[in-house]
Structure 1
């Protein structure tokens, strides 16, 4: 069971949005917060990512080079500029990229003067931040990855493919680019996880490769409806009940049964959003023997009945 893919899929509420940004020095863009997670890919040129005035003190300006990728976990507002001292402007309405279909999701913004040019692909992933998966919640607020000098070859390949499609759109680009941007999110998080030294990795960065916790997580994700117990999961891990429970809670951030309940409710919510399965079937997939027991547990977690949640999510 690919836990990373499942965790992200459970939070997705729509397709990614993207804009090709061209800046010619001097230039600056003040980008507002987005409902989800933001990203920037530097296709060519250089620039800076600058926190806003009210950002936490530990967030500092970041110099970006060709092939660099930035992921902003909470979609925090920020500034992109050729230099930290450049005066930013508010982004205008994005124009459609040249040579793309009228309904294309790839917009194009050009700002600045007549100096050296930088090209980026900017955008956001629509993730439900109201109930973030703990894997995503534990990520740094800003992830900065470089693909130069042979670093992260798979991420580098995705960036190169994106750059080629965005800079020179051809037939099929409208279908290829959104798929590449979807894949980019997984490549970003995989590259960040790979960068965590095994000796000091903590939380989910350690849990996904831990010999005891990773099999238990895979079992829960593969079959959330199974009647799992701490004893049963501990037996899979080859640990005593107490030792397993302590290790699981230390890495995942909550006890095994609490995470099981969370994942069952997350699975149910996704089914309600994305399928027309009857509530009895959703309840069974979430490990509940009766629709009544499921509805009670769901309302306790989400503050509304399953039927109301389904109607509200479809109307959004």
Structure 2
């Protein structure tokens, strides 16, 4: 599957790096039909995911209905409220916690569904904006991909074993799972969304330099030339796939990197602005304040104050 389409994994890595995601495992569910559970609307920047480990289920929101089976990975990139199950009303369940994992079940044996539920949280407001550009729901069938099928089996075994440290192991594997899921989706020719940028033969040539060095100030004309397109065609195609203009997209990338550097390093504002392509301190401060509602110095101070 991967050999038939070019997939720029390095750009996907960079994109995930700029999302600055934190992974959390929320619950392991084990249900026998009939059952019904609801995932409430999540705050911006929180993408809920479900990994079906055995059985099948129906998952629906106000906009769509999906029939999922064992091996399917479903990511709600905008955290939209959705329901899981086939019952007419919500089911009573038992809840227990062991070794850092919350277990929710309505039966002791022969479940018709077992799944891991968790979420990825974007590291800052700009990263949340980037995360929301991904399609929702984002669904990948892991059975089609040997590496992901094996990873799903390992997660299943770890959840059932309930060992010390199982929560940490599952969390780490779910981080890898997202990377491979995006890799697979970007390789599909019918995919028409932001992640298609990573494998589109023309557009990938234009976005790769952006991800490699945010300090470079490419014009739309220069990027269009790299994609062997006219300026108008490049801008239109980019808008169709990403949902926003080239300059707005690059600005989000830069602001997310700025926020990450403010949190993770002791670099000064002038050093950070140079790393992300701003020559004017005033322009950097204006862009940062427009995105985060405060100055870089106060942003860092608030981060330190909140631990």
Report the TM-score, using the length of structure 2 for normalisation.
Answer: 0.81
Question: Distance in 2 between the 1:31 and 1:134 partners?
Answer: 21
Pairwise CA distance, 1:251: 3.8
In terms of mean alpha carbon deviation, does 159-168 or 183-192 score higher?
183-192
Partner-residue secondary structure (3-state), 1:2? helix
Pairwise CA distance, 1:259: 3.0
Q: Return closer, same or farther for 1:91/1:237 CA change in 2, 3 Å cut-off.
A: same
Equivalent residue in structure 1 for 2:27, among 9, 19, 23: 19
Q: Return closer, same or farther for 1:275/1:247 CA change in 2, 3 Å cut-off.
A: same
Partner-residue secondary structure (3-state), 1:277? coil
The equivalent residue for 2:291 is 301
Matches for 1:165-180 after TM superposition, within 5 Å: 165-170=158-163, 173-180=166-173
Pairwise CA distance, 1:121: 0.8
Q: Return closer, same or farther for 1:64/1:238 CA change in 2, 3 Å cut-off.
A: closer
Pairwise CA distance, 1:77: 2.4
Structure 1, unaligned runs of 5 or more: none
Indicate yes or no: 2:209 matched with 1:215: no
Structure 2, unaligned runs of 5 or more: 1-8
Q: Return closer, same or farther for 1:180/1:280 CA change in 2, 3 Å cut-off.
A: same
| Residue pair 1:30, 1:89 contacting (<8 A) in 2 also | no
Equivalent residue in structure 2 for 1:2, among 10, 24, 27: 10
The equivalent residue for 1:109 is 104
Pairwise CA distance, 1:159: 0.7
Matches for 1:142-221 after TM superposition, within 5 Å: 142-148=137-143, 151-170=144-163, 173-197=166-190, 201-221=191-211
Indicate yes or no: 2:73 matched with 1:64: no
Report the TM-score, using the length of structure 1 for normalisation.
Answer: 0.79
| Residue pair 1:67, 1:146 contacting (<8 A) in 2 also | yes
Pairwise CA distance, 1:158: 1.6
Pairwise CA distance, 1:240: 4.8
Indicate yes or no: 2:255 matched with 1:265: yes
Alignment length, in residue pairs?
296
Pairwise CA distance, 1:43: 1.5
The equivalent residue for 1:96 is 97
Question: Distance in 2 between the 1:213 and 1:71 partners?
Answer: 25
| Residue pair 1:271, 1:277 contacting (<8 A) in 2 also | yes
The equivalent residue for 1:38 is 48
Question: Distance in 2 between the 1:211 and 1:115 partners?
Answer: 47
| Residue pair 2:76, 2:136 contacting (<8 A) in 1 also | yes
Pairwise CA distance, 1:10: 2.5
Pairwise CA distance, 1:220: 0.9
The equivalent residue for 1:123 is 118
Pairwise CA distance, 1:186: 1.8
Question: Distance in 2 between the 1:141 and 1:10 partners?
Answer: 20
Question: Distance in 2 between the 1:50 and 1:254 partners?
Answer: 27
Equivalent residue in structure 2 for 1:140, among 130, 135, 139: 135
Q: Return closer, same or farther for 1:311/1:190 CA change in 2, 3 Å cut-off.
A: same
Q: Return closer, same or farther for 1:111/1:311 CA change in 2, 3 Å cut-off.
A: farther
Question: Distance in 2 between the 1:208 and 1:309 partners?
Answer: 31
Pairwise CA distance, 1:256: 3.4
Question: Distance in 1 between the 2:54 and 2:301 partners?
Answer: 44
| Residue pair 1:67, 1:159 contacting (<8 A) in 2 also | yes
Pairwise CA distance, 1:223: 0.7
- CA deviations over 1:271-311 (Å, ceiling 9, x no partner): 12333322122111121235444223311333221122223
Q: Return closer, same or farther for 1:140/1:251 CA change in 2, 3 Å cut-off.
A: closer
Q: Return closer, same or farther for 1:257/1:18 CA change in 2, 3 Å cut-off.
A: same
